[in-house]
Amino acid sequence: MAVEVGEQAPDFELPDQHGTPVRLSSFRGAKNVVLVFYPLAFSGVCTSELRAFRDEFPEVNWDDVELLTVSVDSTYTHRAWSDAEHFQFELLSDFWPHGEVAKRYGVFDPERGVANRGTFIIDKDGVVRWKVVNPLLQARDLADYSKALAALG
């Protein structure tokens, strides 16, 4: 079942590229969260999208915004990719149980075994305020994220 705008975001805890557990609810009351699901590290579209977050998304440096990216890749894959690309944000591993968090958000593709390109902007109260889900090969537009975050105030 997909998570819809206006609903409480399902809480989760996943390891980042360094193996450190990250819990979504730890940002409540302090930060808006941009939660980005993507299919696979090192793939063409995913690499270009995450490079755009690194290079063209100034909101990632705001004190009240946290960018969390999620794929079914292992922490080891995320670490290698993060080191190669100099990503300074969290790359979370939804490796095991395979795709469990993506399934809870309604963005898991069971035929391919990966997450679709789903993005959820979650406010400081833990409520989903904006979402978009794109097909596997269609990149997302960062300008839309900026507008959604600006609307949160």
What count of residues does the chain have?
Answer: 153
For residue 97, whether the previous peptide bond is cis, meaning omega lies within 30 degrees of 0, is yes
The Cβ of residue 51 has, within 10 Å, a number of other Cβ atoms equal to 13
The Cβ of residue 62 has, within 10 Å, a number of other Cβ atoms equal to 12
For every residue of 14-48, DSSP letters joined together read EE-TTS-EEEGGGGTTT-EEEEEE-S-TT-HHHHH
Task: Single out the residue of 144, 140, 149, 147 nearest to residue 49, CA to CA.
Answer: 140
Catalytic residues: 46
> 3-state DSSP call for residue 103?
helix
